[in-house]
Amino acid sequence: MTLSNIDAFDVLTGQIFAKLYENFPKPIFLDARKFVEGGEAACFNADSFTGAEVTPPAEAFINTATWLVQEGYISVRPNSKTATGFSDAVLSEKGLTALKAVPDSLVCRVSLGERLVQSVKAGTMETLKGVTNEVLSVLIKSVTLP
């Protein structure tokens, strides 16, 4: 089953945030080859004219990571974009604040970042999408509140 653009965005955002949260404050290389199922072979279309055309799943990862950088949720070293990702990526203050948030409705008081990491490790895509939406809601509220 192919995910819709929004579902793919939610899953990739959750996976990216989980990886950055796990490694914070250490900058890491956000690389599509580590996030796209099938690794490097699934990131490039060997049958393309140049043999190096990025596949749709890799492009979805790159577009998602680019949006997160442009919106200020992730910090990267200037000019660090590669064909498959970004070098020296780390959560920004805005991103970390959202991931450290603990929703009032949770009794166990586990942060959203910890829930993302748990969801990625467990492979539960529906839970990952739900937690990602909670994170994005926190981020959006932080931008719209005075």
pLDDT of residue 89: 93
Q: Say if pTM beats, i.e. exceeds, 0.75.
A: no
The model's confidence at residue 123, banded by pLDDT at 50, 70 and 90, is confident
Could you give the number of structural domains in the chain? 1
Q: Which distant-in-sequence residues (6+ apart) come within 8 Å of 76 by Cβ?
A: 30, 69, 86, 87, 88, 89, 90
Give the domain range for residue 123. 5-144
Q: Which pLDDT does position 23 carry in this prediction? A: 92
Judge whether residue 10 has pLDDT over 80.
yes
CA distance 14 to 131: 7
3-state secondary structure of 116: helix
| Helix segments in the chain, DSSP class H | 5-23, 32-35, 56-70, 93-100, 112-122, 125-144
- Residue 77 CA, distance from chain mean position: 17
pLDDT at 16: 93
Each residue's pLDDT tens digit, 33-62: 888 877 766 777 766 666 578 788 888 899
Per-residue pLDDT of 59-118, as tens digits, reads 889 999 999 999 999 999 888 888 788 889 999 988 888 777 655 554 456 677 777 788
Per-residue pLDDT, 104: 54
How does residue 143 score in pLDDT terms, banded at 50, 70 and 90? low
Given a cut of 70, is residue 145 above it in pLDDT?
no
